[in-house]
Structure 1
Amino acid sequence: MPRPPSPDPPLPPGFLLQGLAGQADLPLQGLTILAVEDSRYACEALRLMCLRAGARLRRAETLAAARDHLRLYQPDVVIIDLGLPDGRGETLIRDLLLSPRRPAVILGTSGNPDGRGLALAAGADGFLDKPLESIASFCNALRDHLPGLQQGGLDDRTFAPDPLALHDDLARAAAALADPANRRYVTGFLLGVAHHAHDAALARAANEASTNTSSDLASLRALLDSRLHTPTDAFAEKP
């Protein structure tokens, strides 16, 4: 049985709500975005940026959930993580290219260094490197494909997601590693999470487990266990 979605955490202190901002400060106002993203931590940063810029964000954490959503709704932008629990994001990119309900913009995203090439080869209009933190960079990336978007007066702040979302991601990865068959998916998932958390040690461990398939997963499991019992700001380097 699917677990119920976690409630959105409270907004940061001083966060400017859409209804209190002027239109010029909402460069993405009216835009609908679907994020096909399995990491709650990554999606939380995206949610905060969309709220601040005036866009409406919906999330699907699997290919199946994304297809269900797209049968009912037609977002303006779809942002697709390449490594998902039930398959590769490139598959959905290719499917959307052939759809009569093709979104105006299809973007790939990944923490994998090869992600950009894979997404563009599948037909994506563009690519967002992880971590997604800068609201100005995010809005500019969308403006490259939607030149009609207004120029907003947003400052170039970065958004730090709720640490509880990071804990949820790490706990999910630790549970999935109980089955060695999940190795490829989990190491890719952790690589993206590590980029967002600025956790170089976790990124190295995930990359090692991904590239050296003969290695034991015990060291990665031990690191995850350590992270789950350590306050997140003790290992997350601030950008």
Structure 2
Amino acid sequence: MQLRPPNADQPLLGLTILLVEDSRFAAEGFRLLALRSGARLRRADSLAHARRHLCVYRPTVVMVDLGLPDGSGAQLITELAQARPRIDMILGVSADPEAEQIARAAGADGFLEKPITSLASFQTEVLRHLPPERQPTGPRSLPRGMVEPDRIALRDDLAHAAEVLKSDAEGEELDYVTQFLASVARSAGDTRLSEAVDRLADARTKGEVLGAHVSELSAMVDRRLAPSAPLT
């Protein structure tokens, strides 16, 4: 069966995307962006899961979050950039704009800063790295649509963070849950949670006692998980 070529309404038609992303909320946003653009998307939530995918599945595009539960996404970006044959497009993903330099140094072709809810921004970043033969033909106006991920996925992310925070996390595990919550808070537009994460990260950098900061963050997450609490 012959695949339809990309068109103005679905400019990414025919593309297959592997998204390496631990946040369900962020992944849901990317799924909606890919769906409305005509691309097919699969998700891996860790480096190990992504490597298993890539043993049996060759996507056109791999989008890699820089902060993952079992290591830095930069490791996978380097592996993919050096592999032969090479994946057609490798994009770094992070809520931290400073991570773009890390992603590009590792070999990424481009970078997507979370949260990305604009269909036009998503399509533009992917299309500018595609060869001419993969581009849609004819004039194309930029779409004005936005996507809004299901807030149930946000609750799942918060529940995961709450579990880690209550397990007396320290060292690398505490570093991971801190950056995970920073990303989730930014994607959800939760300023107060983001500020609490920053206070914990700053205290850790300064070598301060962290108990009070961890307790504060854990309590804030619990309040957001309360049945009557709206997810902002």
TM-score range, shorter-chain basis? 0.7 to 0.9
Larger Rg: 2
Match of 1:174 in 2: 162
Q: Look up the match of 1:135.
A: 119
Identify the residue that residue 9 of structure 1 maps to in structure 2: none
1:24-63 correspondence runs (5 A): 24-63=8-47
- The residue that corresponds to 2:222 in the other structure is 225
Moved runs in structure 1, 4+ residues, more than 6 A?
none
Q: Does 1:195 align with 2:186?
A: yes
Q: Whole-Å Cα distance in 2 between the matches of residues 84 and 223 of structure 1? A: 23
The question of whether the paired residues in 2 share the 8 Å contact of 1:25 and 1:153 is answered with no
Residue identity matched to 2:169? P
* C-alpha contact (below 8 Å) 1:82/1:110 kept by paired residues: yes
Q: Establish whether residue 107 from structure 1 lines up as the match of residue 91 from structure 2.
A: yes
Aligned Cα root-mean-square deviation (Å): 1.5
TM-score (normalised: structure 2): 0.87
CA contact (8 A) 1:74 1:101 kept: no
> Is 1:82 the equivalent of 2:73?
no
Q: Of 188, 199, 213, which residue of structure 2 is paired with 1:208? A: 199
> Deviation of residue 154 (structure 1)?
5.5
Deviation at 1:29, TM superposition (A): 0.1
Give the superposition deviation at 1:113: 3.5
Structure-2 residue corresponding to 1:70: 54
Q: Give the Å deviation of 1:64.
A: 0.4
Distance in 1 between residues matched to 2:83 and 2:179, nearest whole Å: 28
Work out the number of aligned pairs and report it. Answer: 212
Deviation, 1:56, is 0.3
Q: Check 1:204–1:194 CA distance in 2 against 1; reply closer, same or farther (3 A cut).
A: same
Gaps in structure 2 of 5+ consecutive residues: 1-5
Distance 1:171 1:152, change over 3 A: farther
Q: Within the alignment, does 1:165 sit opposite 2:162 as a pair?
A: no
Deviation at 1:120, TM superposition (A): 1.3
Q: 1:44 to 1:118 in 2, by over 3 A?
A: same
Structure 1 unaligned regions, length at least 5: 1-21
Distance 1:101 1:185 in 2: 32
Conserved in 2, the CA contact under 8 Å of 1:77 and 1:105? yes
Question: Once the 2 structures are TM-superposed, how far is the Cα of residue 132 of structure 1 from its aligned partner?
Answer: 1.4
Q: SS in structure 2 opposite 1:132?
A: coil
